[in-house]
Structure 1
Amino acid sequence: MQLRPLATAAAVLALAVPLTSCGFDYATERDYTPAGGANNRSGDVDILSAVVVSAAEGSGTFVASLSNNEVDAEQSFTGVSGDEGADVTAADFDPIPIAPGGLVNLADPAADIVLTGDFAAGDFLPLAVDFGNGERVLIEVPVVADDFGYWEGMDAS
């Protein structure tokens, strides 16, 4: 009679292990930041929620948050341009410092990184983002309209 509770416990234990584990390399183990923009975490500086806000075809403003993963060294955002043959250029701007372990939001206060080229709202732009340490990060960025939602009025072009 005492074998029945022991057999039940063994069966429960045998089924619990495979049914409660998720395994490896599943979506629950990956970074996911729900955002209207593009994210890239491959370099010393994370590019978060990057978009180009455009009020008119052919021009727009690059907006993103830049998070410095280096806790001992300041980084700087030095440039952005079109990648993979994209006809996109940025107006000149002074390098933007990013404190060690710090975050810079290019929308607040507005950095006004103006881009021109062959694009319109609804497009995705392949961009190269440059940093003062010589690092270049490639990212596909959506072009969003300037007339509604969070990005309303952010286009400085």
Structure 2
Amino acid sequence: MQLRHLATGAAVLALTASLSSCGFDYATERDYTPGSGANNREGTVDVLSAVVVSAEEGSGTFIASLSNNDASDEQSFTGVSGGQDATVTAADFDPVAIAPGGLVNLADPAADVVLQGDFTAGDFVPLVIDFGNGDRVSMDVPVVPDDFGYWAGMDASGSVATTDTDTEADAS
């Protein structure tokens, strides 16, 4: 009888040691959000699930969710441009206000942040995202096709009129 208790105790001890050996600061303890977009949580505003939705090579629409971590002050998304020597430019758009502690999804309602540059679906584009408080966030953002799944129909680059400067440059 004592032998059975001793064997059971030894088995429990062996299982306990192997199950409790995860330690600290392993992947099971870190944020992980599976998805096709890029995330950046370094600034006052978190940039979540950022993608460029592209229907054709060289143009697309920047889409992300912006979460304001400041519970007392409104923040604003003011610009996006190419980072690390990327030739990406954004068409003019109105700054997007983000309420204190709030979340804004640039896809709903559509903010139509249109980008042009040297990219196509499947690429990663280095972008710099600017906020009204002076924060700048750099991240590599995936370019996803406009004709697939959740992102289907979200590229507004064909519906945004070019500026007079773009039209003059195209005419010459």
TM-score (norm 1): 0.91
Structure 1 residue 25 corresponds to structure 2 residue 29:
no
Structure 1 residue 35 corresponds to structure 2 residue 35:
yes
Identity of aligned residues (%): 78
Taking only aligned residues, the RMSD between alpha carbons, in angstroms, comes to 1.8
Aligned pairs (5 A) from 1:91-110:
91-110=91-110
- For 2:141 and 2:31, how far apart are their aligned partners in 1? 18
Aligned-partner SS, 1:64: strand
How big is each residue's C-alpha offset from its partner over 1:119-152, in whole Å with a ceiling of 9 and x where there is no partner?
1111100000011110000111000111121111
Match of 1:145 in 2: 145
Runs of 4+ with >6 A deviation: 1-4
Question: Where do 5+ consecutive residues of structure 1 fail to align?
Answer: none
Match of 2:86 in 1: 86
Aligned-partner SS, 2:52: strand
- 1:83 Cα deviation from its structure 2 partner: 0.2
Q: After superposing the two structures, state which structure 1 stretch, 20-29 or 94-103, moved more.
A: 20-29
- For 1:55 and 1:8, how far apart are their aligned partners in 2? 63
Structure 1 residue 71 corresponds to structure 2 residue 71:
yes
TM-score (norm 2): 0.83
Aligned pairs (5 A) from 1:38-49:
38-49=38-49
Match of 2:131 in 1: 131
- For 1:15 and 1:110, how far apart are their aligned partners in 2? 53
Question: Where do 5+ consecutive residues of structure 2 fail to align?
Answer: 158-172
How big is each residue's C-alpha offset from its partner over 1:85-136, in whole Å with a ceiling of 9 and x where there is no partner?
0000001111100001100000000000000011111110000001111000
Q: Which amino acid aligns with 1:68?
A: N
- For 2:11 and 2:35, how far apart are their aligned partners in 1? 44
- 1:16 Cα deviation from its structure 2 partner: 1.9
- For 1:34 and 1:6, how far apart are their aligned partners in 2? 45
- For 1:147 and 1:9, how far apart are their aligned partners in 2? 59
Match of 1:111 in 2: 111
Q: After superposing the two structures, state which structure 1 stretch, 71-80 or 14-23, moved more.
A: 14-23
